[in-house]
A and B are shown apart, each in its own frame.
Chain A
Amino acid sequence: MNRELLPVATAARTRAVLLDLVRPYRALALGGFAVMVVATSIGLLTQPLLGAVVDLVASGEPAAAITTPVLALVAVAVTQGGAMTLGLALVSRLGETVLARLRERFVDRAMRLPLEQVERAGSGDLTARVTGDVSLIAEAVRVALPEMARSGLAIVLTLGALAILDWRFLLAALIAVPVQWHTARWYVRNAGPLYARQRVAGGAQQQQLLDTIGGATTVRAFRLEADHTAKVAERSNTAVSLTLQGVNLVLRFYSRLHVAEYAGLAAVLVAGFLMVRSGAASIGTATAAALYFHSLFAPVNTALVLIDDAQSAGAALARLVGVIDQPEPPALDRPKAPQIEVSGLGHAYDEGRPVLHEVDLTIRAGERVALVGASGAGKTTLARLIAGIHRPSTGTIAVPGEVGMVTQDVHVFAGPLADDLRLARPDATDADLREALTRVDALTWAETLPEGLATVVGEGGHRLTATQIQQLALARLILADPPVAVLDEATAEAGSAGARVLEKAIETTVEGRTALIVAHRLTQAAATDRVVVMDGGRIVESGPHDELRSSGGRYASLWEAWSGVRTTSENPLE
């Protein structure tokens, strides 16, 4: 199967979706912005008030005269603090609410993506978007958004205040802008690719460590210690050297900003000198201008550093919107029939490489059929087509209704055990849950968990064995209660002892359902109504276990080879 990553939205589409998300909160957005403007503007009164103190002293006023501007400074500080609190709270409220709506829409759409599409993209793609991209945006909303709002407004309004002091101060200050502009562009151009490489290297290092540490027993058993130590060293060195490259880049970025700072500061001071000499400004005004400019350093640096965060958040947003924008997949439109009727079924994942040929199969209502064959025989493909995960290339499948499927892919949903089960039937009572667990022989261990069914399981919770996890999967199927059940090697991940427990659980799970069971342990096949043997994408034998066993065909020799008790001498494998 060729990789085909999930789509990424265009910049225009990303903007449109973002605007669409913000629209319901227009009032909040405007209110937050207005309060921030007020808060920042009040703060800008500080420098002129300090200038006023300087002027009062310069004009030889008595010391008591400065009390008034000082009291004003206190008032400014308190009001600014209050307004800033309100403004930041409003801005965060907007950002966080929009983020919540965004992630909800993403999850909603992700859950409805056709499995085929997700698998073509590789399961990592969707997971990376829901973890990496969402948290990147969340971090940007939590930290960068309020910072950006504060710094951005501080810069704009400070420049405005400089202009109010005298437009020539603004002109002098703007000398720094070309240098900053150029520096920021240079930084973003270099930082993006470098940080992308850093993330890749960090991921690779993490992966190697997980591989080496998680597989330490294997590494020791095969004497691969030197090999693995060298691999870890190489990846760690790569990560370290990329980090240091990043540090270098940031430091050079600051060096260039220092040039801008100096140029602007010198220009403002010279402008002050000229204007005081010509009488166009007081010393206090010149002081205020210099202090304004000096106070710009911090927000300018903050804003320029945030450009990078904003860029990565933008890219992450485009990846989320790419999924959100996916059209609702058309419903799988399959004919209904009282039993499963497969006719003329053929399938190819890649064009020209068919894996199923002209398969005809009828499974009567309530019948349990085992699919047996070598890997690559087409068992899983047939099971997945019947489960409705893929659309067949040719032929038709009629089913009596919903088809439930349990495969060897196991997952425990993080949270209380009862919540995990209720995913299958949200309105299930505790008694329903207990009954389902009883049927798969899991109630005993479930009740001995530290907090019974309320025990938190899954990632970060109580660890369950492979067998227990698969018992849960079967219990979910019982709760979902579909008329048709497809089980694809549901015992494969459990050891041999677990397999036996699961086989029994599968028997009770499929009771009263039409069932297709892909089996690799032949005892499991023996317990079904009918065994279907596949080879090379075709059905080659079909009949009850006992009948096939005594017919001397392919299944018979397979059974003998499997049980290790030979009754005939022919080679089962040819």
Chain B
Amino acid sequence: MRAVLWRAISGQRRDVVTGAVLGAAHQAGEVMVPVLIGVVIDQGVAAGDLPALARWLVVLAVVYVALSFSYRFGARAGERAAERAGHALRMELVERVLDARGGAEEGRLPGALTNTATEDAKRVGAVNMSVMLAFSALMGIVVAAVVLLRVSVPLGLVVLAGTPLLLFLGHLLSKPLEKASEDQQDRAAHASGVAADLVKGLRVLKGIGAETAAVARYRVTSGDSLAATLRAARAEALQTGLVVALTGVFIAVVALVGGRLAASGEITLGELVSAVGLALFLIGPLEVFAWVNAQFAMGRASAARIAEVLAAPHAIAAGTSPMPVPVRGSLRLRGVSHDTLKGVDLEVAPGEVLGVAAVDPADAISLLRCLGRTADPSSGTVELDGVALADLDPAALREVLLVADHDADLFEGTLRENVGGAHPEAMAAAGADEVAGELPGGIDGHVAERGQSLSGGQRQRVALARALAADRAVLVVHDPTTAVDAVTEARIASRLRDVRRDRTTILVTTSPALLAVADRVVLLDGGRITDAAPHADLVTRNAAYRTAVLA
């Protein structure tokens, strides 16, 4: 966590230092403004001295130019550091998630990981800005303290001790209010969440004529939420009112002490005016400290989340054996046990089309995980051309062996980009040429994120086309046609062998149409292979197979 934070700051040290120095200059300038107002009143207005007035107004102008520019360039450097550090962390996270050895997504939802890569990365990056602001605020307080103490030690002490005390009191008084307010905010946010949820489910609601029930339910939620919001708003109003009252009382105290000192001639009128102005000014940098503290707390929490993802254990280890060249595409499973699998032995010849029908879907998933090396078997080995998969580099392995999952994701982009090129043969074999025909732009038509603009059947056909187009020596497909209509499924089955000729293909499915085109089908039942034969033979001789596939 510390390492993440430190990297985020040290990586941008030039901008952070620039920002801090310029920010300090800006704060010094802001201190000078009320001071100079006092001086102008003192030496110009009260003394009726025109040249002095002109002189001090020029000084004020110079101070303004300096504070304005130092603020502009200082804040720019700070924000740049924040954004760049956030970007660097974001990329680091994405690279970790995409690491061939996997493991980073384990136990984390995509939405939560995305949030870490956006919000958490941003917050850790923003610590740069906090560092810069904290340093500037500190300098502002030091300059103000020096000025005040030079004017009058007792008055200076009153202001310097009073301001933090004021903020502390405000903090103390508002703490319970803030807590209440946060709780209420959460409940208030609920109403908009419910509304969005109902709109997302609009088709479902309309399908069962539940619009009126939904509207009635929303009214109740909205009413509850309003009540909660109003309680929160009252708490916030009270908090603001308290701060306003406390600040006013504090100014009165400064006026009392300063006025007495001025009346006794210890300080000038102008110095009194400056002191009042500085008392008001000091609230600013001290509030920055409170804010920075909160930012650091959030930054630390975010850095911890990022560190946890970056340090997530890999799901598999990368092997170092060289890839067999050329790849023939034979597979051998020896006593593979993993999750539900119990000692599976299986040989797949190069170029064979093998069907795998699993009675329990969990067996199919365990097998797919071992073949695609999302996990290594707890015992036994999987070999490609005689080399154990665990000894190979997973990234290199995936260039010859592809496991196309049932719920494989499509990506935002054109259809062509999703399939990885034109590939007319693969498109036709998967029935994705029809999808292209249905899209407004054809093969260059747009596919929304995760393929959401397509129907389930269209998505599956595009995903299958992509798997075929990748043209790997070994292809394992899982239930590629569950959302495809029977006519299209039959057509896909009839073309599959042709497009995969001479390359090894494993069809993990219970679709009879697909299993019928396999050279051989193995039945996976209770974690073991219980039968192996062509589809037609299994249909006639094996009752368990009939139930799994044809029922």
Q: Do these two chains interact?
A: yes
Residues of B within 8 A of A407 (CB): 203, 207
Q: Is there contact, CB below 8 Å, between A222 and B420?
A: yes
Q: Is there contact, CB below 8 Å, between B208 and A404?
A: yes
Residue A70 interfacial (CB < 8 Å): yes
The proximity string for A residues 102-136 relative to B, scoring 1 for CB distances below 8 Å and 0 otherwise, is 01101110111001001000010011001100110
Q: How far is the CA of A521 from the CA of B207 in the complex (A)?
A: 22
Q: Is there contact, CB below 8 Å, between B192 and A138?
A: yes
Of A16-24, A184-192, A250-258, A543-551, the one contacting chain B is A250-258
Residue A243 interfacial (CB < 8 Å): yes
Q: How far is the CA of A276 from the CA of B90 in the complex (A)?
A: 61
Of A160-168, A201-209, A361-369, the one contacting chain B is A201-209
Q: Is there contact, CB below 8 Å, between B539 and A565?
A: yes
Q: How far is the CA of A71 from the CA of B256 in the complex (A)?
A: 9
Question: Shortest Cβ distance from A273 into chain B, in angstroms?
Answer: 5
Residues of B within 8 A of A520 (CB): 457, 483-486, 489
Contact pick for B402, options A221, A232, A375, A479, CB 8 Å: A221
Residues of A within 8 A of B57 (CB): 266, 269-270
Question: Shortest Cβ distance from B180 into chain A, in angstroms?
Answer: 14
10 A-B pairs within 8 Å (CB atoms) are namely A66-B263, A73-B252, A84-B237, A92-B230, A92-B234, A106-B195, A214-B450, A217-B405, A220-B395, A375-B455
Residue B296 interfacial (CB < 8 Å): no
Q: Is there contact, CB below 8 Å, between A220 and B100?
A: yes
Q: Is there contact, CB below 8 Å, between A74 and B264?
A: no
Question: Shortest Cβ distance from A494 into chain B, in angstroms?
Answer: 7
Query: Using a CB-CB cutoff of 8 Å, which residues 24-47 of chain B contact chain A?
Result: 33-34, 37, 40-41, 44-46
Q: How far is the CA of A108 from the CA of B194 in the complex (A)?
A: 13
Q: Is there contact, CB below 8 Å, between B263 and A82?
A: no
Residue A97 interfacial (CB < 8 Å): yes
The proximity string for B residues 47-72 relative to A, scoring 1 for CB distances below 8 Å and 0 otherwise, is 01010010001001100100111011
Q: How far is the CA of A81 from the CA of B247 in the complex (A)?
A: 9
Q: Given A78-B245, A216-B105, A272-B41, are A118 and B202 neighbors across the interface (CB < 8 Å)? A: yes
Query: Using a CB-CB cutoff of 8 Å, which residues 400-447 of chain B contact chain A?
Result: 402-406, 408-412, 420, 434, 438
Q: Is there contact, CB below 8 Å, between B256 and A134?
A: no
Contact pick for B485, options A53, A87, A375, A494, CB 8 Å: A375
Where chain A touches its partner, the secondary structure class is: helix
Q: Is there contact, CB below 8 Å, between B408 and A218?
A: yes
Q: Is there contact, CB below 8 Å, between A112 and B41?
A: no
Q: Is there contact, CB below 8 Å, between A374 and B456?
A: no
Of B146-154, B270-278, B381-389, the one contacting chain A is B270-278
Question: Shortest Cβ distance from B316 into chain A, in angstroms?
Answer: 11
Report the nearest A residue to B534, measured CB to CB: A564
Question: Shortest Cβ distance from A86 into chain B, in angstroms?
Answer: 8
Instruction: Identify the 5 closest CB pairs spanning chains A and B, nearest first.
Output: A77-B248, A564-B516, A81-B245, A85-B241, A215-B409
Residue A468 interfacial (CB < 8 Å): no
Q: Given A214-B450, A523-B550, are A294 and B37 neighbors across the interface (CB < 8 Å)? A: yes
Q: How far is the CA of A341 from the CA of B91 in the complex (A)?
A: 60
Question: Shortest Cβ distance from A420 into chain B, in angstroms?
Answer: 9
Of A55-63, A303-311, A437-445, A446-454, the one contacting chain B is A55-63
Q: Is there contact, CB below 8 Å, between B209 and A104?
A: no
Q: How far is the CA of A492 from the CA of B479 in the complex (A)?
A: 12
Q: How far is the CA of A114 from the CA of B106 in the complex (A)?
A: 42
Q: How far is the CA of A458 from the CA of B193 in the complex (A)?
A: 11
Question: Shortest Cβ distance from B248 into chain A, in angstroms?
Answer: 2
Q: Is there contact, CB below 8 Å, between B204 and A494?
A: no
Of A174-182, A390-398, A496-504, the one contacting chain B is A496-504
Residue A318 interfacial (CB < 8 Å): no
Q: Is there contact, CB below 8 Å, between B79 and A258?
A: no
Question: Shortest Cβ distance from A25 into chain B, in angstroms?
Answer: 13
Interface residues of B toward A: which range? 35 or more
Residues of A within 8 A of B2 (CB): none
Q: Is there contact, CB below 8 Å, between B513 and A240?
A: no
Residues of B within 8 A of A415 (CB): 194
Q: Is there contact, CB below 8 Å, between A497 and B361?
A: yes
Residue B491 interfacial (CB < 8 Å): yes
Query: Using a CB-CB cutoff of 8 Å, which residues 148-206 of chain B contact chain A?
Result: 188, 191-206
Residues of B within 8 A of A348 (CB): none
Q: Which of A50, A61, A273, A494 has the most CB of B within 10 A?
A: A273
Contact pick for A103, options B195, B204, B403, B536, CB 8 Å: B195
Residues of A within 8 A of B117 (CB): 209, 213
Contact pick for A63, options B249, B264, B514, B550, CB 8 Å: B264
Question: Shortest Cβ distance from A485 into chain B, in angstroms?
Answer: 10
Residue B348 interfacial (CB < 8 Å): no
Q: Is there contact, CB below 8 Å, between A103 and B222?
A: yes
Q: Given A103-B192, A112-B211, are A374 and B487 neighbors across the interface (CB < 8 Å)? A: yes
Residues of A within 8 A of B83 (CB): 240, 243-244
Report the nearest A residue to B536, measured CB to CB: A565
Q: Is there contact, CB below 8 Å, between A210 and B449?
A: yes
Q: Is there contact, CB below 8 Å, between A493 and B98?
A: no
Residue A200 interfacial (CB < 8 Å): no
Q: Is there contact, CB below 8 Å, between A107 and B218?
A: yes
Q: How far is the CA of A307 from the CA of B470 in the complex (A)?
A: 54
Question: Shortest Cβ distance from B543 into chain A, in angstroms?
Answer: 15
Q: How far is the CA of A413 from the CA of B46 in the complex (A)?
A: 72
Residues of B within 8 A of A214 (CB): 110, 114, 409, 450
Question: Shortest Cβ distance from A562 into chain B, in angstroms?
Answer: 5
Q: Given A81-B248, A103-B192, A495-B406, are A409 and B204 neighbors across the interface (CB < 8 Å)? A: yes
Residue B251 interfacial (CB < 8 Å): yes
Question: Shortest Cβ distance from A473 into chain B, in angstroms?
Answer: 7
Residue A346 interfacial (CB < 8 Å): no
Residues of A within 8 A of B541 (CB): none
Q: How far is the CA of A89 from the CA of B229 in the complex (A)?
A: 11
Residue A29 interfacial (CB < 8 Å): no
Residue A337 interfacial (CB < 8 Å): no
Residue B347 interfacial (CB < 8 Å): no
Q: How far is the CA of A458 from the CA of B196 in the complex (A)?
A: 12
Question: Shortest Cβ distance from A29 into chain B, in angstroms?
Answer: 15
Residue B294 interfacial (CB < 8 Å): no
The proximity string for A residues 240-274 relative to B, scoring 1 for CB distances below 8 Å and 0 otherwise, is 10011001100110110011011001100110110
Question: Shortest Cβ distance from B46 into chain A, in angstroms?
Answer: 5
Q: Is there contact, CB below 8 Å, between B206 and A115?
A: yes
Question: Shortest Cβ distance from B95 into chain A, in angstroms?
Answer: 6
Q: Is there contact, CB below 8 Å, between A229 and B53?
A: no
Residues of A within 8 A of B87 (CB): 236-237, 240
Residues of A within 8 A of B391 (CB): none
Q: Is there contact, CB below 8 Å, between A96 and B230?
A: yes
Residues of A within 8 A of B61 (CB): 262, 266
Residue A459 interfacial (CB < 8 Å): yes
Other A-B pairs beyond A53-B255, A100-B225, A374-B485, 7, CB < 8 Å = A85-B238, A88-B233, A291-B37, A372-B487, A423-B210, A495-B482, A561-B486
